[in-house]
Structure 1
Amino acid sequence: MNIKLIAVGKTDHKELEHLIQDYIKRLGFYIKFTFDLIPDIKNAKNLSEIQQKDKEGKLILSKISNADIMILLDENGKLYDSVGFSKLLQKHMNSGIKQLIFIIGGPYGFSKDVYNRANGKLSLSKMTFSHQMIRLFFIEQLYRGFTILRNEPYHHR
């Protein structure tokens, strides 16, 4: 199984990008992982929130195949602790799917079309984080999930 993270907009902070790349490298020991960035929408200031979400949604959906399982990182998604999240990863790996895709939307969230295509929603916290920080938090949790599945000492129980 491959895991892909799709996010809207680039990471502006070099420190965050460095940490993200560190965890991506670590993930490579466990699974094929790709991080795909969708560029910011040009002239977004001239668009309504709905127009911006629709444009981002079309770009997101263009990167998804019918066979992919797509999970949105969404504030109204299901909350898991780290062990529960690792069990979710194991469940998807056991299901035989080829690609599991997680999506971080733009500043206003997701379009209706993206919500309609999604196979599920996941929340990392009841708190709100910047779209740039959530990338690091999510990739770290993926790494943690795989260390839990392998009973490695990174996650202390």
Structure 2
Amino acid sequence: MNIRIITVGKIKEKYLTMAIQEYTKRLGAYCRLEIIEVKDEKVPEKLTDALRTKAIESEGKRILSYLRDDEILATLEINGSQINSVDFSRKIENFGIQGKSQISFIIGGSLGLAPEIIRRSDWSLSFSEMTFPHQLFRVMLLEQIYRSFKIIRGETYHK
């Protein structure tokens, strides 16, 4: 299976980079993983609706340039469905059974995702109603993907 994470912005903290590297290494035994970072828009502290819309659209265009027609597109959204780790793993496994070997997870910027990205989504997913820093969320997503492959294979890790 091929997993891509397309995310807005770069990781700045070393401890998060180290966690991402660790999960990337672990996932190498289960899938081909690619992490694509697109540039985030710099916005002023006092943001107008027009500037917000423009920033989201600019980030959306960058994300769209990486999307393919033959992949499952999973968007991470506050209003997405919330599922547990076992159901998450079943969903990934079912995509594989259906012959869908490419899943791209999209993590938007701090302002959210462009409407066009949301419309193209095959799977809208939320980890919580809480808000998380986008950099930390990347680690959380990688951990859940790793956990899902462990569950799928019946390996010890998930408790």
RMSD, aligned CA: 1.3
Is 1:17 equivalent to 2:17 in the alignment?
yes
Please give the alpha-carbon distance, in whole angstroms, between the structure 1 residues aligned to 2:114 and 2:131.
19
Is 1:87 equivalent to 2:86 in the alignment?
no
1:6 equivalent in structure 2: 6
CA contact (8 A) 2:95 2:101 kept: no
Is 1:60 equivalent to 2:63 in the alignment?
yes
Aligned length: 155
TM-score scaled by structure 1?
0.94
Where do 4+ consecutive residues of structure 1 move more than 2 Å? 43-47
Of 38, 51, 55, which aligns to 2:54? 51
The residue matched to 1:63 in structure 2 has which SS? coil
Please give the alpha-carbon distance, in whole angstroms, between the structure 2 residues aligned to 1:94 and 1:150.
14
| Unaligned stretches of 5+ residues in structure 1 | none
The residue matched to 1:44 in structure 2 has which SS? coil
Change in Cα spacing, 1:98 to 1:148, as seen in structure 2 (3 Å) is closer
Deviations 1:12-57 (A, max 9, x none): 111011001100110010111111111223x533871100000000
> How many percent identity over aligned positions?
39
TM-score scaled by structure 2?
0.93
The residue matched to 1:36 in structure 2 has which SS? strand
What is the Cα deviation at residue 4 of structure 1? Answer: 0.4
